[in-house]
Amino acid sequence: MRASLALLSLLAACAFSKSSDDDDTLACGEGTHEEDGTCVVDDAADTDTDSDTDSDTDSDTDTDTDTDSDTDSDTDTDPTFCDASLPSPSSGPDCVSEAITCGDTLEGTTEGGTDVINGDALLSWYCDPFPTDYAGTERVYEMFFTERTRVTATLDAPCEDVDLFIVDWDEDYCPTEANSVIECEAGTDSGDDTVVIDAFPDDRFLVIVDTPDEAATNFRLSLACEN
C-alpha cells in the first residue's frame, strides 16, 4: 500500500515537471500576475478623485434708485380767468350777494362787492390774529342748514391774494366790529385756502371772500359737505 502511494506521488511530480517544461507561464490567481517566474500582486487601482469645485458666484446687483421728483409749488395764474368779466350779484339782505349750498362750485369776483367788513371787524371777531386792513370790497354769501353738517369750503385764488372767512351769524344784516359773532373761522394762507366748519340745524353762516389790499380779483369757491 505504501509502495503504491509512493508511486503515485512520483508520477504527479513527473507530470508537473513536464507541464512546466511545456509552458513557462505560471497560472497566477485573480489580482496577481506572473513576473520573473513569480506571481506578484497587481498594482493598486488608480483612484484619482478630482475634487476641484468651480464655484463662481456672481452677486453683482444693479439697483437704480434714481427718483425724479419735480415739485413746483408756485401758484400759476390763469390770465383768461383773471381777465374775465364775472357776474356781480347782489340779492341781499344787506351785504349778501347770494345764497349758496353744499356741492356748489362758483366763479366770482370781489369787484362790485360791498365794503362793510374790514380788518377791524375781523380782528374783533377773532378771525385773524394779525391785523390787516381788508379795505377793499368783499363778496359775501350765506348758507342755511337744516341738519348737522360738516362743511369744507375751498377758495381757489389764481389771480391775486384773497382770503376766506366763515362767520356764524343769524341776523339779516351784516355784522361790523361793533357786533359779536358766535364763531369765525379763517383761511389766510398765501394762495388757496380751505376752511372747515360744523353746522347745526337752523344755523346760518356768512361766507366772506376778501382781499388783504384794495385790488379787486376773481376767484373760485367750492363747498363739500358731509352729514
pLDDT tens for 119-144 read 999 999 999 777 688 988 999 999 99
Burial of 184: CB neighbours in 10 Å, binned 0-12, 13-18, 19+? buried
What is the model's pLDDT at position 207?
Answer: 98
Residue 73's pLDDT band, with cuts at 50, 70 and 90, is very low
The mean per-residue pLDDT over the stretch 51-69 comes to 51
- Distance between CA 164 and CA 38 in Å, rounded? 121
Which strand ranges, in their side-by-side order, compose the sheet holding 218-226?
A: 105-109, 218-226, 149-156, 193-199
d(CA 177, CA 123): 8
pLDDT, averaged across the chain: 80
In this predicted structure, the answer to whether residue 226 has a pLDDT above a threshold of 60 is yes
pLDDT band at 92, cuts 50/70/90?
confident
What ranges make up the beta strands (E) of 55-94? Answer: none
Does the pLDDT value for residue 153 go beyond 70?
A: yes
Domain boundaries, the chain: 91-226
CATH (residue range 91-226): 2.60.120.380
Decide if 106 contacts 213 (C-beta within 8 A).
no
Q: What's the pLDDT score for residue 78?
A: 77
The reported pTM is 0.66
Instruction: Strands of 104-214 (E only): list them.
Output: 105-109, 139-144, 149-156, 163-168, 183-187, 193-199, 204-210
